[in-house]
Amino acid sequence: MNKEEAKAAILSLSKEIDQHNYHYYVESNPQISDYDFDMLLTRLQQLELEHPEFAYDYSPTKRVGGDITKKFESVVHRFPMLSLTNTYSEEEIIDWETRLKKVTDEEINYVCELKYDGVAIGIRYENGILTRAVTRGDGTQGEEITANVRTIRSIPLKLKGNFPDDFEIRGEIFMPLASFNALNAEREEIGEQLFANPRNTASGTLKMQDSKVVAERNLDSYLYGVYGDDLSFDGQLSAVENAGSWGFKVPTKEKKFIERTTSIDGIMSFIHYWDKARHDLPFEIDGVVIKVDKYAQQRKLGFTAKSPRWAIAFKFKTERVETLLESVTFQVGRTGAITPVANLTPVQLGGTTVKRASLHNADQIEKIDLHLPDYVFVEKGGEIIPKIVGVNLEKRSEAAQVVGFLDHCPECHAALVRREGEVQHYCPNENGCPPQIKGKIEHFISRKAMNIDGLGAETVDLLFTKGLVHNAADLYALTYDQVIELDRMADRSADNLIQGIKNSTQVPFERVLFALGIRFVGETVAKKLARAMGSIDRIMHAKYDELIEVDEIGEKIAISVQQFFLDERNVEIIHRLKEAGLQLEIVKKETLSQKLEGKSFVVSGVFNAFSRDELKEVIESNGGKNVSSISAKTDYVIAGENMGPAKLKKATDLGIQILSEDEFIQLLK
């Protein structure tokens, strides 16, 4: 392929992938399979590696992140980002509308919108290209987080249609409930403290220094405010509809996310509808916003010192109910973490019947000063299960007893431990505590791990109870004759289970590593560790310094990995999984060339065009070898920003050739 053909192919692929992104993330209407999409993206990435001079700044490959931002620059807003007047009172909405009508005799159209519980953002586009994204900050200036916003797939990098040459669009970035719950479930599995709510998690994510982590968090957005000079539309609703035609994810009338009305009755109808329907949304809202539609009327109404007179936000009251705390039970997770759960007299909250609420840990129980029996206040926000936020002390009886935390495991009676700096209590008897044993096996067979068809939690419980399995390796020793004897197990189910176990031997190494359930090694860390080390044998024998060289692996994870493989029982399980034929090393990818054959590389620092993992993949796909530490046998060091001075000195002292990112690209050519 010559240069002109490559340029044309990159442009064509970019447009095709952008269109599929729009169908998937904006319209929720995918046109191709995930696999086919990944193949298109892989092809584009390869072409951009071979011809970096033709890679566009708005290329869809930029969505995966990889930029490291040490400091977020403070930026003055072109148009101030004023906050809205908030109210919880319908009477104040009526008073607001009455005041507006005293200022103008004209009929007023109002636009009602959802008030998304996220992070306010202003994004500038010049000639249809995303050039800058800035947080609200204090309304006058905010922080530039462009690299992180680029990773959000519902925000276009390049626009379509008849858009203004230079404008800013504003809206909210939020974390969908499914993403938040999945993130917390993963943190719970590895024994990490849970995030409090989606809004705070979205805010913290957008301030992360590594945009690759931001990309993995699956943030979303709705954009709805257009600001600029000489805009071609005359009001809020028209602006939103135009923005939708340029490729933005905007609130639509079809979903009832936005509505125009001429009356206070219409406003109240919108408020009442969403006060109930908000519980069915896949993201959180905390109210509705009412705006005067026409820009000319907005200008006439003007501003106060802090907010526009032509807009107001009605906030829903946080749902809180009172009910009786009947008991507190303690659950044991697969990592041994002990989680206290409040059992409540059933009560309606947010459209569902609540019987249990999370207490999280001993500190939370002590903070609330919980007694039995207490009448407690329960809220349901972004929590996976509802949360107790307080106690009605007026109803506490003199006979009420303080709720204390356990000293021993409720299942195996081992003495609990609480590690320094951690909030959880743990049962240390991981190989003798039934919930931990079953929990590890359930994690091993889960969808993101081995994904074994025909095997679920109930069957794991039966297999454990019958003494057939005590760890993951035992699954691969099961026979049809053993399985068919289980309760409610028919011929076909037994066949499916045995076949599912057999098929799982083809699951790739990074998922097998995740399935092992090493503490702090979640799905993302397992991928990075597997790709960096290449095989289970290398991980088992890796030194501490080698482990912390891997992206995103710090002291806590490195120590956890080493401790896992110091346990002879875990090593024995690995040997048995090897004998069963599981994939315990990375399958070598197809080699693109032998340009780097026989050459060894150390990659260090932060890069612009690639992440470190991407650089390592390019090296291997062109015949080179990645090594973790510099020695006399190292051929090249590829040095990015912030490369450690000790490494630089060692490479210089040994006379090893040091390449910049651009020099490495030239070497490939």
* pLDDT value at residue 27: 74
The full length of the chain comes to 669
Q: Are 365 and 405 in contact (CB under 8 A)?
A: yes
Amino acid type, 289: V
The domain 600-668 having CATH identifier 2.60.120.260: the answer here is no
Measured distance CA(653)–CA(376) in Å, rounded: 67
Q: What is the mean pLDDT of the chain?
A: 89
User: Would the pLDDT of 68 be above 70?
Assistant: no
User: Would the pLDDT of 323 be above 80?
Assistant: yes
Q: Where are the alpha helices (DSSP H) in 486-611?
A: 491-503, 509-515, 523-533, 536-540, 544-548, 555-566, 568-579
Query: Where in the sequence of the chain do the CATH 1.10.150.20 domains occur?
Result: 434-506, 509-579
User: Would the pLDDT of 37 be above 90?
Assistant: no
Specify the 3-state DSSP secondary structure of 534. Answer: coil
User: Would the pLDDT of 95 be above 90?
Assistant: yes
Query: In percent, how much of the chain has pLDDT > 90?
Result: 58
Instruction: Give the tens place of pLDDT for each residue, 410-434.
Output: 999 999 999 887 888 999 999 999 9
**What would the CATH number be for the domain defined by 434-506?**
1.10.150.20
DSSP class of residue 254 equals T
348-365: average pLDDT: 85
Work out the pLDDT band at 64, boundaries 50, 70, 90: low
Instruction: Give the tens place of pLDDT for each residue, 603-620.
Output: 888 787 777 777 888 888
Tell how many helices (H) and how many strands (E) occur in the chain: 24, 23
* pLDDT value at residue 590: 66
* pLDDT value at residue 349: 84
User: Would the pLDDT of 235 be above 60?
Assistant: yes
Helix 34-50 × helix 3-21 angle, to 10°: 150
| CA-angle at 250, arms to 246 and 252, nearest 5° | 115
User: Would the pLDDT of 174 be above 90?
Assistant: yes
Query: Where in the sequence of the chain do the CATH 2.40.50.140 domains occur?
Result: 320-402
Six token digits for residue 514: 């995740």
* pLDDT value at residue 511: 94
- What is the assigned CATH class of domain 3-64? mainly alpha
Measured distance CA(360)–CA(338) in Å, rounded: 9
* pLDDT value at residue 470: 96
DSSP class of residue 209 equals S
* pLDDT value at residue 59: 85
Q: Are 187 and 422 in contact (CB under 8 A)?
A: no
* pLDDT value at residue 216: 87
Distance of CA 328 to the CA centre of its chain: 31
The CA-based dihedral angle spanning residues 275, 280, 281, 283, taken in that order and rounded to the nearest 10 degrees: 90
User: Which fold, 320-402?
Assistant: OB fold (Dihydrolipoamide Acetyltransferase, E2P) (2.40.50)
114-120: average pLDDT: 95
Half-sphere exposure of 472 (CA within 13 A, CB side): 35
265-277: average pLDDT: 95
Query: Where in the sequence of the chain do the CATH 3.40.50.10190 domains occur?
Result: 600-668
Continuous segment of H or E residues that includes residue 645: helix 645-653
632-644: average pLDDT: 85
Instruction: Give the tens place of pLDDT for each residue, 369-390.
Output: 999 999 999 987 544 568 898 9
Q: Are 188 and 242 in contact (CB under 8 A)?
A: no
* pLDDT value at residue 162: 93
Range in 147-151, 182-186, 492-496 the model is least confident about: 182-186
Instruction: Give the tens place of pLDDT for each residue, 500-551.
Output: 999 999 999 999 999 999 988 988 789 889 988 999 999 999 999 999 888 7
Q: Are strands 258-261 and 636-639 parallel, antiparallel or unpaired?
A: unpaired
Burial (CB < 10 A; 0-12, 13-18, 19+), residue 127, is: exposed
Q: What are the respective helix, strand and coil percentages of the chain, to the nearest 5?
A: 40, 20, 40
**What would the CATH number be for the domain defined by 509-579?**
1.10.150.20
User: Would the pLDDT of 641 be above 60?
Assistant: yes
Measured distance CA(549)–CA(646) in Å, rounded: 14
Instruction: Give the tens place of pLDDT for each residue, 557-594.
Output: 999 999 999 999 999 999 999 999 999 998 766 667 88
Catalytic residues: 115
* pLDDT value at residue 441: 96
Q: Where are the alpha helices (DSSP H) in 210-332?
A: 211-216, 236-245, 264-277, 295-301
| Pairwise pLDDT comparison (327 vs 25), residue with the higher score | 327
Handedness of CA 483, 485, 489, 492 (dihedral sign): positive
| Pairwise pLDDT comparison (53 vs 510), residue with the higher score | 510
Measured distance CA(122)–CA(145) in Å, rounded: 10
* pLDDT value at residue 242: 96
Distance of CA 631 to the CA centre of its chain: 38
Work out the pLDDT band at 304, boundaries 50, 70, 90: confident
134-151: average pLDDT: 92
Write down the architecture of domain 75-315 according to CATH: 2-Layer Sandwich (3.30)
The backbone torsions φ and ψ at residue 353, rounded to the nearest 5 degrees and listed phi first, read -90, 125
Short-list 602, 482, 574, 595, CA closest to 49: 595
* pLDDT value at residue 465: 94
Query: Where in the sequence of the chain do the CATH 1.10.287.610 domains occur?
Result: 3-64
* pLDDT value at residue 54: 86
